[in-house]
Structures are given as C-alpha cells and as structure tokens.
Structure 1
Amino acid sequence: MSDTTEKPAERPYILHMFTATPQMSPFDVNMAADAGYQIIVPYCGVEAGMVANLTQDAIFSRGPKGVSRTGIFIGGRDVMLAADMLDSARKAMVPPFEVSVFADPSGSYTTAAALVALVERHLAKAFGMELGGKRVLILGGTGAVGRVAAAMAASLGADVSIASHTDQARAAHVSDDINRRFGIVTKGVSTATPADLRAALGEAEIVLATAIAGVQVVRTDDLAHARHLLIAADVNAVPPEGIAGVNVMNDGKPIEGAPTAGGAIGIGALAIGNVKYQVEHRLFIRMRTGGKPVYLGFPQAFDEARAVAAGLG
C-alpha cells in the first residue's frame, strides 16, 4: 500500500512592514519580494507605542521554527522614530520567539551608507586620505538622508557641518538633536543666502548634497568658491543635478569648474543608488537566511556599504 500521508507544507517567509506614514514605500515592498519574502504585509499609521504588541503578535503565532521564517521591516520618514521602533521591537522579543528586524526609513539608512562609503572609497583611491578630520558640508542636511550621513561621517572623525537653507536655528536644532542621540559632534550652518552658501563651501573639503529631488543646491558660480574641495557627491537623480558638474553617472570623474588646485571629483546619484540597492538587498537576505535573529539599523547598513564599495575595485 502506498503512503498517502501528506507532508506538512514548508512555512512561507513572512515580512511584517511597519510605518508611521499613511502608506508603505513600494520600493521597499519590491525589494523585500526580490529578496525572497513570500507574504508581505504592510501596517500603516503605526505609532511607537504599538510596536511591542505588533511584534509579539508576530512572534508567538508561529512557534520557534516559524519565527526563523518571519521578519519585521520598519519604514517611515523619521530616522529617530525608526531607530526607536527598532529598539522597541528588539525589547519585545521573548527568546526563543525572536525574529529579525530591519529599519530603513525612506531608504535613508541605506542611501546614507552608500553615500558615505563611496566618499570614503574615492577619498582613499584618488587622494590617499581618510575621512577622519576632513571638513564635510551636508547640504539639505536636515532631511532624513542628511541626518544619517552626518552621524556616519562624524562617527569616523569628520568635522561635519549640517546645512539648512531655511535658517541657522533650524540647522542648529537638527545638529543638537543628532549629537545628543548618537553621541557625536556636528554643527549647524545656514545656507539661506548665496553669501552663506558660498562661505560654507569655501571651508568644505567634502560636499554632500542630500536635498530634495529636482533642486540644484550648488550652481557653477557657487562651486567656484569651493577652493578646498576634494569630493562632491549628490544623491539627486532628478534633473537638474544637485551640484553643478556632478552628473548622475559620475563615479569619481573630475568636476569641471572646480577651483581646487589638484582637482576635485564627483560622485553621482546612480553610482550611489547602485550601492544602496545592493546594501538593501543584502540586508533583506541576511534577515531571511542568517539562521539567527539580527537587528539592522544604520551602523549595519554602513558596514554592508563599505563591503560593497570595497568590491567595486
């Protein structure tokens, strides 16, 4: 007689996606699916106080074997809130009921990681220098990517200025906020007027443009004031280019019009985006296949970005 007993079906990979915003990013949903998650469920309008209960609902329903095929992703737009939610999810775990958690609000952790890792790579390759001690100006620095890039660069010993096109008070508030949160030292500067911008550019060795898409924050005549510039990097892929002379395709190409005696190089949005994509994919894969729970925030994103950048040759 044949054995007609059905073998239990293999448990699917489930990803629960939390965001405080009205909708989850389609980009992140696609990335999760491409990384092998089979059931992807977004939870929108999630407040920080809801994370612990949602997490425990996710871990206790599948048993110790099922939790190894379960993950939590934290999105949204607020980098500080996402860090708090990641911490809340971790604290809600009850081993052996424990799942992996990955936070990447607005893609800011992985984008900033790619940005800083590429700057670090090109600084060493083209100039034989380290980021530590370099004067870094972050334009659009009060936004999500700018804040995280500031924290990463400052943690490496860079002298970081966070710029706001609104006013000095806004820049100082954001600088103070991330300094307290991450135990780093940055300062806020105003780029509200052309004179303010040019004064800030005149001091900078590294300029990172993390402003909103479609806005040029440094024009050709502004760039002429960046007399110490080594590297300019721009995350904006929407025309016009955020920094004049830094095309989206640039990956270490000299910047025309830069006044630096030894020349300056540019890193464009597509080069940064290529590394960002690989970092996010790898972190989703690590969640799903690592064999034990992992908690992935911007330090882990930066480690992964450095590994990707090192492999570029």
Structure 2
Amino acid sequence: MERTYILHMFTPGRQMSPFDINMAVDAGYQVVVPYCGVVAGDVAGLTQDAIFSRGPKGVKATGIFIGGRDVLLAADMLESARKAMVPPFEVSVIADPSGSYTTAAALVACVERQLQRSHDTDFAGKRVLILGGSGTVGRIAGVLAAGLGAEVTLASHRDAATAQEAAKATGERFGCRLDGAGLPGPQARREALAQADVVLATAAAGVQVVSVDERAAAVRLLVAADVNAVPPEGIAGVGVMDDGKALADGRAVGIGALAVGNVKYQTEHRLLAAMRNAEKPLYLGFREAFAKAREIVAEKG
C-alpha cells in the first residue's frame, strides 16, 4: 500500500502560517496538520508520537515542520526533534520560523551573486549593515554574512540596547561575531551608511529605512538589497523587481524584494520536496537553506 505523505507542523504561535501550509501542499504533502501553542518541552513527545505509528517504512512519508517567530527557539526545537528520533524510526525535519531561514538564505545568496557579478568580489572583509537587524530575517542574514567573512552590524531604529541584545544572543547561539547599533534618526543612519559596503533592509513591510538623501551618504556602497515588497520601497531607489540594477548614484547595484522572494520560494519548495523524497532523514535549518539558495542562484547564471 502506498503511504500518504503527512507533514506535522509545530508552531509556538496561535496559528500556523498559511504561506507555509500552501508551500507544503504544493511540495506534495497530502495531509498537513498544524499544532499551535507548542513549547520547546513538547517537541520530543510530539516527534515520537509521529514516528512510532507508521513503521520504519512509513516514516519516510512523514515529516515535521517547525515554525513560529523566534529564530533561536526554532533552532532549539529542530535539535530537540533530532534528538528524539529512535532509528530506524526517524523522519525529516525542517525549521523556517516566519520564513526567516529561507528568506535570509535567499537574500544573502542574491547579494553574494551580485558582489561577484558586478564587483568581482565577495563578502570577506565587507562591512554589512542590516537595517531592521533585530528581526527574524535580519538576525539570520547576519549570521550567514558573518560566516562568509563579513563584519556585520544589526541595526535597530528603536535603541542600541535592542540591537545589541539581538546581536549578542544570536552570535552566541550560532557561534559568530555580530555587532549591534541603534540608529534612531536620519543623521545616525547617514553615519552608519557611510561605512557600509553592503546594506540589507529587513525591516517590517511598508517601512522605508533608507531615504534618497540617506542613501547618498553611502559612498562605499556596492550592493543594496531589500526584502520589503509593500510600498514604499525599503531602500529608496531599489525597485521590487530589481536584480543587479545600477542605482542612480555611485557604483552600487540594487536587489529588490521580488528578486529575493523568487529565490526564497524556490528554496523552501525544494527543501520540502527533498524531505518528501529523501531515502534518509534530513534536518534542515538556515545553513541547509543557504546551500540550496546558492544552488538556485547559480542556476540563474
């Protein structure tokens, strides 16, 4: 008898993301079951409930998705699920809280491509400023960029303490160096932009974090990338469809939200499909998402 493909979706939140449910169905899962209000201590028990009922062959048609909004908690839950497996009862697991792992992976892969294509360079030694950096996407993009040798600053429009706490907690959890900075006004942003080689805008949708005047201060800028698809544009002058389009002044190129989003969509889809088709269990976090996003970007040539 052919097994039905089942995806169990765990989230600490009140509801599972409809986006991720749609993605799971489109990747071939036939039964998708959300579990809301899941805390870290629930994961092991839920995982073992999922693995023991289908037999060693049935577990190949079973997967677990970990959502929520906390990038650190999601990583911990992924690890808890992995530790709860009892081979040969073992299923594939993916974590993608608020889509942040796959979005950050796509963002950094797109920027890496444009650094090479437009400037014949890479992230090593570059100063990367992430505006909205204390949020989910900003934190993980910072970890990935730091892993490629960049000097990363997570910036918050609220205050320095928020940014510094995000940088400290994220850096300690994932073993990298991240700095935090509060940029509450235009002058502070201009000063930070003047030192940046790469600017990533990962703030909330519909929030412009860099104006035309502020962007003019970014005299070192090579690449500006924005994940905000809701008007106004997060970085003035970077259109949602841009993918390496030269900005009006200087030598920088822009990457817009839909260019990043296309890679993000393909990354999540392919990871979910890989779980469904895997002969051996997969454990997929943001590093695996980045590897997949790099593959997708390389295919674009």
Please tell me the TM-score bracket, short chain as reference. Answer: over 0.9
Deviation at 1:130, TM superposition (A): 1.0
Contact 2:132 2:155 in 1 (8 A): yes
Query: CA offset at residue 86 of structure 1?
Result: 0.2
Where do 5+ consecutive residues of structure 1 fail to align? Answer: 1-8
What is the CA distance between 1:132 and its match in structure 2? 1.0
Matched residue, 2:70: 78
Q: Specify the alignment match of 2:224 in structure 1.
A: 232
Answer yes or no: is 1:301 the counterpart of 2:289.
yes
Q: Residue 11 of structure 1: CA displacement? A: 1.4
Structure-2 separation of matches of 1:34 and 1:267: 27
* 1:103 maps to 2:103: no
Q: Partner of 1:291 in structure 2?
A: 279
Identity of aligned residues (%): 66
Q: C-alpha displacement at 1:33, in angstroms?
A: 0.3
The 1-side partners of 2:227 and 2:42 are apart by: 33
Residue 167 of structure 1: how far off its partner (Å): 0.8
Return the alpha-carbon distance in structure 2 between the equivalents of residues 273 and 223 of structure 1: 23
Matched, 1:22 2:14: yes
User: Which secondary structure does the structure 1 equivalent of 2:228 belong to?
Assistant: coil
Deviations 1:14-42 (A, max 9, x none): 00000000000001000000110000000
Per-residue CA shift, 1:54-113, capped at 9, x if unaligned?
Answer: 000000000001101000000110000100000000000000000000000000000000
Larger radius of gyration: 1
Q: How do residues 196-275 of structure 1 correspond to structure 2 at under 5 angstroms?
A: 196-256=188-248, 258=249, 260=250, 263-275=251-263
Secondary structure class of the residue paired with 1:203? coil
**How many angstroms apart in 1 are the aligned matches of 2:297 and 2:35?**
33
1:175 aligns with 2:163: no
Q: Distance in 1 between matches of 2:158 and 2:114?
A: 31
Q: Partners of 2:124 and 2:67 in 1: how far apart?
A: 30
What is the CA–CA distance in structure 2 between the aligned matches of 1:216 and 1:250, rounded to whole Å? 17
Give me the TM-score of the superposition, normalised by structure 2: 0.99
Residue by residue over 1:256-297, the C-alpha shift from the partner in whole angstroms, topping out at 9 and shown as x without a partner, is 2x3x3xx11000000000000000000001101011100000
Aligned counterparts of 2:162 and 2:98: Cα–Cα separation in 1: 21
Counterpart code for 2:117: K
How far is 1:193 from its partner? Answer: 1.5
Q: Give the 3-state SS of the residue equivalent to 1:68 in structure 2.
A: helix
Q: Aligned runs of 1:87-102 on 2, under 5 Å?
A: 87-102=79-94
Q: Which sits farther off after the overlay, 192-201 or 108-117?
A: 192-201
Match of 1:143 in 2: 135
Q: Distance in 2 between matches of 1:17 and 1:190?
A: 35
Between the aligned partners of 2:233 and 2:122, the Cα distance in structure 1 is: 27
Q: 1:190, 1:197 within 8 Å by CA — same for their partners in 2? A: no
Shift >3 Å, 4+ stretches:
none
SS of 2:300's partner is: coil
Q: State the AA in 2 paired with 1:101.
A: V
Do the aligned partners of 2:10 and 2:65 also contact (CA within 8 Å) in 1?
yes
Q: Which amino acid in 2 is paired with 1:67?
A: V
Matches within 5 A, 1:34-73: 34-73=26-65
Gaps of 5+ in 2: none
Aligned residues: 301
